[in-house]
Amino acid sequence: MLGRKSARLAAAGVAMALALSACGGSDGDSGNAGGSGSGGTLTLGSIVAPPSLAAAESSWANGSPYVQAVYDSLLRQAPDGSVEPWLATEWSYDDARTVLTMTLRDDVTFTDGTPFTADVAAQNVLRFRDGTSAQASKLANVADATAVDDTTLQITLTAPDPGLLTYLAQAGGAQASPASFDAAEAATAPVGSGPYVLDADRTVIGSTYVFTKNPEYWAPDEQHYDELVINVFTTAQTQVNAIQGGQVDATNLIDNQSGPQIEGAGYTIQTVELNWAGLILFDRAGQLNPALGDVRVRQAIAHAIDRDALLEGAAGGLGTVTGQVFREGSDAYDPELDDRYDYDPDAARDLLAEAGYPDGFTLEMPFFDIGLDPAFDLTAQYLSDVGITVEYTTIALADAFTQVLGGSFPATLFYLSEDSTTWQTAQVSIAQGSTFNVFHQPDETVAGLLSTIQTGSEDEAAAAATELNEYVVEQAWFVPYYRAQLGFASGPDTDVVLQSDNAYPLLQNITPAA
Amino acid sequence: MTTTAAPTDLPAVRTLERTARVSLVRRVLRSPVGAVSLVFLLLVVLAAVFAPLLAPQDPDFASARDVLAPPGGDHLLGTDGSGRDILSRLLYASRLSLSGAATAVGVAAAIGITAGLLAGYYGRWSESVASSVSSVFMALPAIVVLLAARTVLGPSPYTTMIVLGVLVSPAFYRVVSAAVAGVRQELYVDAARVSGLSDGRIIARHILTVVRAPAIILAAGMAGIAITLQAGLDFLGLGDPQRPSWGGMLSDAFAAIYREPLTLLWPSLAIGLTCIALVLLGSAVRDALERSGRPRRRRRRDAAPPAASLAESVVVHDEPTGARAEELLHVRDLAVGYDQPDGSTTEVVHGVELSVHRGEIHGLIGESGSGKTQTAFAVMRLLAAGGRIVRGSIEFEGADLATLSEKEMTRLRGRRIAYVPQEPMSNLDPVFTVGHQLTEPMRVALGLSRTAARTRALDLLARVGIPDPQRTFAAYPHQISGGMAQRVLIAGAVSCGPDLLIADEPTTALDVTVQAEVLDLLRDLQRESSMGVLLVTHNFGVVADLCDRVSVMRAGRIVETGPTRAVFATPRHEYTRSLFDAVLEDTAPRGPLVPTTQGAQA
Amino acid sequence: MLWFVLRRLAAGVVLIVAIAVLAFFLLYATGGDVGRRILGPTASADTVAQKNTQLGLDKPALSQFADWASGAVRGDFGRSWFTGQSVSDAVTGRLAVTLSLVIGATVLTAVVAVVLGVLAARRGGWVDTAVQFLSVLGFAVPGFLVAILLVLVFAINLDLVDPTGYTRFADSPSGWLSSILLPVIALSIASIVGVAQQVRGSMLDTLRLDYVRTLRSRGLSERRVVYGHVLRNAAGPALSILGVQFVGLLGGAVLVEQIFAIPGIGQTAVSATVGGDVPLVLGVVIATAVLVVLLNLAVDLLQGWLNPKVRRA
C-alpha cells in the first residue's frame, strides 16, 4: 500500500505543487479571521515533508505551514488571495512599476536575538532568488534588493511583475536570521521571527515536526496555540486512521473518497478545486505521433471520452466535469466551452476517418502512479472504442516529470493546476516557452492574443483571454476531464478558513473553535 | 525439516524408504490434507493456464458505468474501482503469481542447492566462500533490496522475482549444506568413497536422497513467500500496474475499502488459500517422505510374525536344582503395539514371558527386529512415541509396571531400574558436561547435595575405570571416546544403586578390545551389588560369557528359554539351532546397521 | 574467543564496505534527474540545474563516490537530498524507533514461539493440530492485512490505543508501550509462526534422540527432561531461525511503520529508495548491515554457549 498510497500522496503533492503557481489576485482588503483564542496544541496533518526548512530553499502550497510556523513573510495573504501588510507595513511602486519600495516594521527580532532590518530583508530576497527553492524562479524578475535605511527596502525589477507582491507574501518573502544563512544545519535548524520555534529534539525530520510558541513574538494575537505539531502522512489509510483516532486537528486529505468515514468521526471537510485532470496532447505538430498533428484527431479524442463517467469512475464524483483549462471566474472562462466536445464515439470515429485514420492509430503514453489509475484504464478503454490503441509505458513516478517534460511522449494523462489568471495559465502550458508545451511549439494566434493580454487594456485583455480559451479548446491541445476536489478536514475543536489559491490553509486561519 | 532418527532395531528401514519414494504421490494423496491442497493447487494452475478460456471478460476491459458493481449478474464477483470484472482479473492474475513464484523458487533452488551441495560436501573452503556470499544476501531485509533493485532494474515482476530468488537462495543453501555436512560424516558415504564411487555419484546417490525432503518442503514454503512478497510489492504499487496481479487487486480493493469492502475478499482469499495449500502440501510431503507424523512412524509390515509361528509354543529348559534368589522382574504375556494412522495397532511383541532374579544376568538374544529391545523398553515404559503395552503385566517387586502412573514410573527409574544403552555417543546429552549428566540424576533421585553428588560421581568414574575422573567429569561428550562414554553411561546407570539393570547391547558399538573390558566391568558391578541384569544382545559369545539364563527371541516372541548352560548344550528350537549354526559359519545374524541421522534443520 | 570476535568483526567491516560500494554504484546507475524529483514539475530548469550542482551531481560518479567515501570514513555520511538532514542524525534517530519495534517483536516471538512450539511438540493431538492450523494461517495471511485489521479493530473501533504515530519512551513509558503494542503484534505474527514451527520440529527431533530415553531412564522427571535438556538442545536451530527472523522483522518494519505511520527507519527506507535519496539510502543500508553483522555475531556467541560442540577457541 505504501508505494501506491505514497504515490497517491505524491500525486496530490504534484497537484498541489502545481496549484502553488496559482496566486496573485486583486487588491481586495478583506481581513483574516485573526481570532485571539489561544492555548493548547494544534496537530496538523500534511502530505509532504519540506525538502528544507531554510527560508531560501522553502516552498509554498503544501509546504506553507512549515514556512509560516517559523518565518514571517514581508507581506501576508487574506483567504481570498489578496495581499495585506505584515513585516512590511506600507509599499508602493514607481510609475514604471519596476521599483518597489517597502516600509518595514522596526520592532521585530529573530529568535536568535538578531534584529530584523531592511538590510536583512534585502539579503533574504536575493538569497531566495538565487537559491534552490522550487519557486526561486518566481523572483527571477528581481534585479536587485537594497536597504535605503533600516526600515526601507527597495526592490528593483527587470520588468513589471504583477505577481511580485503575492510572491513576497509567500515563501519568496520569508525572512530568516542572517546568522542562519550559512549554518551547516540550516536545512533542519531554521531561525526566523515567526510565531513558533522548531523543537529540534522532538522533531523527526521527514515525519513529525514539533514547534513551540515563540515567547518574544511581536504579534502575540496571531499565536493561537502554545504548540504546533505537523505530522506527515504518507498513506491515505494512516491519514484516515489518525482522523478516526482523533490524532489530528486538521489535515489535507490524500484521498477524499473516504469522506463518510472522516465526517463520521466528527470532522468537517471543506473542498477547493485547484487542478484539472485530463489528457495533455503535447505533440501538437505531430512530431512523435503524426496523427496528433491533425486537429480532427485531437477533437476525435475529446469526443471519445465520457467525462461524466470518468469523474465518477476515477474520482468518485468528487469534482466538476470541465472541458477547459482556465479557472472558473477567470476572464478566459466560458461555461459554454465545457460542452464543446460531448461524449460522441460516432463523431469521434467520423473525425478520425476524415483525418485519414478510419482504422485508428496507436498512441504511446506514459503510465505512472499519480493516483489516477482508473482514469488511465478508462482512457485506454474509451479510446479503443473509437479505434485508437493506447500503449502505455510504465515509468517510475520519481522520473515521471523528467520524462514527461523531456518530450519522450506525444501525450499524457496529468493533473494540471488552474492558475488564477489567464496569463499565468498560458505561461505554464500554452505559450511557446511554457513548461507543459513540451515541444515548445509556436502558434501565431496564441502569441498574438498573449501579447494583447500582457500589454492591452483591461477590456482588451479580457476579450483576448476569452478568445484564447476558445482557440485552445478548438485546437483540443488539452482534453480536460474534470476539476478535482482537494479536501481539507478539520475536527470539532478547530476552525479553518481555506485559502482560495493555496492547497493548504494559511496558518493564521486555523484557529481554536469559538 | 529434519530427517527422522531411525530407530536402531527397526528392520528393513531402507526397504521402507524405497517404497516411500515409489508411492510418494500416492502417500501424499492418501492424507486428506495433502490431497485437498494438491487438488487445490492443481486447480489454481489449471485456472492460470486456461484463464483465456475461463475468464468471462477481457481482464482489462474497464467500464466507467460499472464501477464497484456488487457480485452477481454479469459479474460473478463484481467489478473493481475501474469497473473491471474481478473474476477475470483474478484468473489472469494467477498466471503472474504462479509464474513469478516458480521463477523465484527455481532461481533460489538452482543457486542454493548447488552451492549447498558443494559447500557441504567439499567442506571448509567452498563453505566459507558460499557463506560469505550468503551473508551479503542475508545482511539486508529482502524488501529493502527489492525496492532498490526495482529502481535499478525496472518494475518487471520477473526481474523482481529473480532477484528475490537470489536473495532467498541462502535458505536452500543453509538447509542443504547442513544436511550434507551431516551426511558427509556418515559411514556409508565413506564406504562409498572407499569403494571408489566418484564424488558426483556420491552426491547424486546419497546426498540428494537426504536433502530431497527438506528441499521439497522449503520449495513449497518459498513459493508461498514469493507469492506473498510479490503481492506485497504489487500492493505497494511497486509491481507492473498494467498487469493484473493479486497484490495489485488487493491494492485497488484497499483504495475502495470503505466503499466496497467485499472487493478486498477475493484477492485476499486467492493469496491466502494458495499459500495455505502450499504450506499444507509441504507438510504432507514431509509426513509422507519421513513418516514424521508421529503415530505413523512405524509401519512394521515386515516385522509381522509368520503365521506358522503363532501356534508355536515356547521351549522351556528345566531349572537346575537349588534355591534361586528372589525374583525381581516377571514379565507375563507382554504384548507391545504401535498405533497406526488408520487407527489400528500393529503388534511387534506378542506375549513375552520372562523373569529376572536378583543377582542374575538374563540374556535376551535375537536378531535385529526380533522385539528384544522393544521388550526392554516396555519394561522401563520408555517405548517410542505411538508405542504402548497392549496387554500383559510387568511385575517388579510386587507392582505391575504396566499399570503404574507416569509419576510412579519416574520414581522407579534410575533408583530401582537402570538402563545402559547401546550407542554410547548418542546417549549423552551433547550440551552438558559428563559431570552434570552424572550428578543431575543423583541430586534428583537421591537428593544428594551438589558436592556429595560430585564426590560420588568422581568415585564412580574412577570405579568404571576412567583414568582421569576429574578431567572426564568436566568434559563434554564430544571430547571423550566411545569406550569412555560407555563407561560413563554405566557409571550413570549404577549411580543410584538400582536393583535391576537393563543393558541394551552395551558393547555392540565398541571396539573389540574395549568390549571385553566393558563386559568385565558390568559383571563386576553386578556382583558387587547383586543387581539383576536384563542383557539384550545378539551375541552368543556375550551370553555364554556373562549370562546365567538366556531367552531367545524371534519375531516378537520368545522361542526358547532356560539356563544358559542348558540352552547352549541342547538347543531344542529349530531357530536357536540355526542361530548357533550361523555363529559357527561366522556370519553375523544382524541386519544392516542403519545410521542415525539428525540435524538437518530447516 | 576474543580472536574469534575480532575476526568476525573484521569480516563484518569487509561485508559492510562491499555492500556500501555495491549500493552506491547501483543507485548511481539509476541516475535520473534528482533535482527535478526534489523540486517537482513547477521549478524552472535553471533552478533544477542549480540544485543538481549544489548536490554535486554534476560530478562524475567516481568523484562523487570519493567525496562520499572520504566523508563516510570520518563518520560523515552526508546529508539527505530530500530533507537536508545529516544522514547520521536521520538514521540514528529513526533506528531507535525501529529497534523498539523489532526488539519488542523478537522478544514476543521468542516467548510465544517457544510456548507454542513446546506445547505442540509435547501435547501432540489437537493442541498440535491447533498450533499447526494457526501457523498455517499466520504464514498465509499477509502481514499487512493483519496490521490493518488490528488498527481497525483495536485502535478505531475499540479505541484502546492510538492508530498512528510513535511516543518516545522518555516522553511517556505508557504512551510508548501503547504506541508500539499493535505494530509489535502485527510484526511478530509471521516470525512467531516460523520460530514456533522450528521449535516444534527440533523438539520432536530431539525427543526422538537416544539420550532423551537415557535421561528418562535415570529417573529425571518429564519436566526436567523436556525443559532442562530437550529444549536446550532444540534451542540452537530455533535461535538460528530467530536470527534470520530478526532480519525479516527489519524488513517487516518497512510495511508496519508505513501502516502505523511510525517514524522509523523502514519508513525512511521506502521514501528514500522510491525517491532516490542516495545518501540516505546508503545510510539506511549501512546501518542495517551493521545491525545484522552484530546480530549474527551475537547469535554465533549464543550458539556456542548453547552447544559446546560449536564453541570455538
Q: Give all domains of chain A, ordered by start, each with its CATH number.
A: 71-181 (3.40.190.10), 274-485 (3.10.105.10)
User: What type of residue sits at position C302?
Assistant: L
Cβ-count burial of B196 within 10 angstroms (0-12 exposed, 13-18 middle, 19+ buried)?
exposed
Hey, which residues 59-118 in chain C have their CB within 8 Å of chain A? 79-80, 82-86, 89-90, 93-94, 97
Instruction: Copy the grid coordinates of residue C78.
Output: 552526508
Q: Does C214 touch chain A (CB under 8 A)?
A: no
Alpha carbons A32 and A81: distance in angstroms, whole number: 11
Instruction: List for chain A the helix, strand, coil content (%; round to 5).
Output: 35, 25, 40
Contacts of A377 in chain B (CB under 8 A): 60, 62, 82, 84
Alpha carbons A9 and A1: distance in angstroms, whole number: 12
Q: Does A237 touch chain B (CB under 8 A)?
A: yes
Hey, which residues 226-255 in chain C have their CB within 8 Å of chain B? 228-229, 232-233, 237, 240, 244, 247-248, 250-252, 254-255
A374, B235: Cβ pair inside 8 Å? no
Q: Does A399 touch chain C (CB under 8 A)?
A: yes
CB count in 10 Å sphere of residue C137 = 16
Alpha carbons C211 and C225: distance in angstroms, whole number: 10
Give pLDDT, residue B20. Answer: 44
Tally A–C CB contacts below 8 A: 163
All partners of chain B with 3 or more CB pairs under 8 angstroms = A, C
Clarify whether residues C39 and C93 are in a common domain. no
Beta bridge partners of A321: A482
C38 occurs within a structural domain = yes
Class of domain B325-428+496-582: alpha beta
Contacts of C307 in chain B (CB under 8 A): 430-431
Shortest Cα–Cα distance, A490 to chain B (Å): 20
Contacts of A233 in chain C (CB under 8 A): 164, 261
Clarify whether residues C21 and C133 are in a common domain. no
C288, B136: Cβ pair inside 8 Å? no
Clarify whether residues C215 and C264 are in a common domain. yes
Alpha carbons A238 and A283: distance in angstroms, whole number: 40
Phi and psi, residue B241, nearest 5°: -65, -10
Q: Does A373 touch chain B (CB under 8 A)?
A: yes
Question: Do the Cβ atoms of A296 and A258 come closer than 8 Å?
Answer: no
Q: Taking the domains of chain B in order of start, what are their residue ranges?
A: 45-292, 325-428+496-582
Alpha carbons B220 and C166: distance in angstroms, whole number: 37
- CA B571, distance to chain mean position in Å, is 40
Hey, which residues 166-185 in chain C have their CB within 8 Å of chain A? 171
C220, B440: Cβ pair inside 8 Å? yes
The DSSP H or E segment spanning B471 is helix B469-474
C79 occurs within a structural domain = no
- Tens of pLDDT, residue by residue, chain C (313 residues): 778 788 888 888 888 888 888 888 877 766 667 888 788 777 777 888 888 888 888 888 888 888 888 888 888 888 888 888 899 988 988 898 999 899 999 999 999 988 888 888 887 778 888 887 888 788 777 777 788 778 878 887 777 888 888 888 888 888 888 888 889 998 888 888 888 888 888 888 888 888 888 888 888 888 888 888 888 888 887 888 888 788 888 888 887 888 888 888 888 887 887 777 888 888 888 888 888 888 888 888 888 787 777 664 4
Please tell me which residue of chain A has the smallest CA distance to B244.
Answer: A377
Clarify whether residues C152 and C13 are in a common domain. no
Q: Using the 8-state DSSP alphabet, how is residue C155 labeled?
A: I
C57 occurs within a structural domain = yes
Q: Does A264 touch chain B (CB under 8 A)?
A: no
Beta bridge partners of A7: none
Banded model confidence at residue B191, pLDDT cuts 50, 70, 90: low
Instruction: Copy the grid coordinates of residue B212.
Output: 530431497
- The residue assigned the cell 479503443 is A384
C78 occurs within a structural domain = no
- Mapping DSSP to helix (H, G, I), strand (E, B) and coil, where does residue A334 land? coil
Domain boundary among C72, C107, C130: C72
B140, C216: Cβ pair inside 8 Å? no
Shortest Cα–Cα distance, B272 to chain C (Å): 5
Clarify whether residues C16 and C45 are in a common domain. yes
A313, B83: Cβ pair inside 8 Å? yes
Give pLDDT, residue C154. Answer: 83
Alpha carbons B9 and A186: distance in angstroms, whole number: 78
Banded model confidence at residue B589, pLDDT cuts 50, 70, 90: very low
pTM of the predicted model as reported, rounded to 2 decimal places: 0.77
Q: Does A287 touch chain B (CB under 8 A)?
A: no
Choose the closest CB to B241 out of A240, A257, A394: A394
Tally A–B CB contacts below 8 A: 83
Contacts of B436 in chain C (CB under 8 A): none
Please tell me which residue of chain B has the smallest CA distance to C304.
Answer: B431
C15, B271: Cβ pair inside 8 Å? no
A3, B63: Cβ pair inside 8 Å? no
User: What type of residue sits at position A231?
Assistant: N
Alpha carbons C163 and C160: distance in angstroms, whole number: 9
A488: left (phi over 0), alpha (psi -120 to 50) or beta: beta
Shortest Cα–Cα distance, C280 to chain A (Å): 12
C15, B141: Cβ pair inside 8 Å? no
Phi and psi, residue B503, nearest 5°: -115, 120
* Residue from A57, A59, A401 whose CB has the most chain C CBs within 10 Å, to mutate: A401
Q: Report the b/e string of B62-94 with b at 16+ CB within 10 A.
A: bbbebbbbeeeeebebbbbbbbbbbbbbbbbbb
Full domain range(s) for residue C19: 2-72
Question: Do the Cβ atoms of B455 and B462 come closer than 8 Å?
Answer: no
Instruction: Copy the grid coordinates of residue A320.
Output: 466538476
Q: Report the b/e string of B381-398 with b at 16+ CB within 10 A.
A: bbbbebbebbebbbbbee
B236, A4: Cβ pair inside 8 Å? yes
Judge whether B45-292 and B325-428+496-582 match in fold. Answer: no
Choose the closest CB to A373 out of B63, B241, B259: B241
C84, A247: Cβ pair inside 8 Å? no
Measure Cα distances from C263 to B434, C165, C260 in Å. Answer: 52, 7, 9
C265 occurs within a structural domain = yes
Q: Using the 8-state DSSP alphabet, how is residue B294 labeled?
A: G
C82 occurs within a structural domain = no
C77 occurs within a structural domain = no
Clarify whether residues C67 and C104 are in a common domain. no
Alpha carbons A168 and A170: distance in angstroms, whole number: 5
Give pLDDT, residue A259. Answer: 79
Question: Do the Cβ atoms of A30 and A254 come closer than 8 Å?
Answer: no
Q: Does C203 touch chain B (CB under 8 A)?
A: no
Hey, which residues 499-518 in chain B have their CB within 8 Å of chain C? 502
Mean pLDDT of chain B: 76
Alpha carbons A155 and A143: distance in angstroms, whole number: 8
Please tell me which residue of chain A has the smallest CA distance to B257.
Answer: A258
All partners of chain A with 3 or more CB pairs under 8 angstroms = B, C
Alpha helix positions (H), chain C? 2-30, 34-39, 45-54, 61-73, 87-123, 125-140, 143-150, 173-207, 210-217, 222-223, 231-260, 265-275, 278-306
Residues in chain A where the model's pLDDT stays below 50: 1-37
Clarify whether residues C23 and C149 are in a common domain. no
CB count in 10 Å sphere of residue B399 = 15
- Mapping DSSP to helix (H, G, I), strand (E, B) and coil, where does residue B394 land? strand
Question: Tell me, what CATH number does C117's domain have?
Answer: 1.10.3720.10
Banded model confidence at residue B523, pLDDT cuts 50, 70, 90: confident
Shortest Cα–Cα distance, A104 to chain C (Å): 29
Q: Total domain count for chain C?
A: 2
Q: Report the b/e string of B521-548 with b at 16+ CB within 10 A.
A: bbeebbeeeebbbbbbbbbbebbeebbb
Angle between helices B482-494 and C210-217 (to 10 degrees): 30
C268, A206: Cβ pair inside 8 Å? yes
Of C57, C73, C88, C6, residue with least CA distance to C312: C6
Contacts of B81 in chain A (CB under 8 A): 313, 373-374
Measure Cα distances from A117 to A93, A110, A149, B244, B359 in Å. Answer: 20, 10, 8, 61, 111
Alpha carbons C162 and C155: distance in angstroms, whole number: 6
Shortest Cα–Cα distance, C41 to chain A (Å): 6
Please tell me which residue of chain B has the smallest CA distance to C289.
Answer: B139
Phi and psi, residue A214, nearest 5°: -80, 110
C219, B415: Cβ pair inside 8 Å? yes
Shortest Cα–Cα distance, C212 to chain B (Å): 7
Choose the closest CB to C29 out of B144, B152, B292: B152
Instruction: Copy the grid coordinates of residue C86.
Output: 545529516
Clarify whether residues C52 and C162 are in a common domain. no
Q: Does A154 touch chain B (CB under 8 A)?
A: no
Shortest Cα–Cα distance, C219 to chain B (Å): 4
What does chain C come to in residues? 313
When the candidates are 1.10.1060.10, 3.30.450.20, 1.10.3720.10, 3.40.50.300, the CATH number that belongs to B45-292 is 1.10.3720.10
Choose the closest CB to A257 out of B236, B252, B259: B259
All partners of chain C with 3 or more CB pairs under 8 angstroms = A, B
Q: What is the pLDDT of residues B216-263, one digit of tens each?
A: 778 888 888 888 878 877 776 667 767 788 888 887 777 677 677 788
User: What type of residue sits at position C179?
Assistant: S
C186 occurs within a structural domain = yes
Give pLDDT, residue B291. Answer: 54
Alpha carbons C84 and C93: distance in angstroms, whole number: 15
Q: Does A439 touch chain C (CB under 8 A)?
A: no
Question: Do the Cβ atoms of A282 and A407 come closer than 8 Å?
Answer: yes
Handedness of CA B85, B91, B94, B96 (dihedral sign): negative
Q: What is the pLDDT of residues B568-587, one digit of tens each?
A: 888 888 888 887 777 665 54
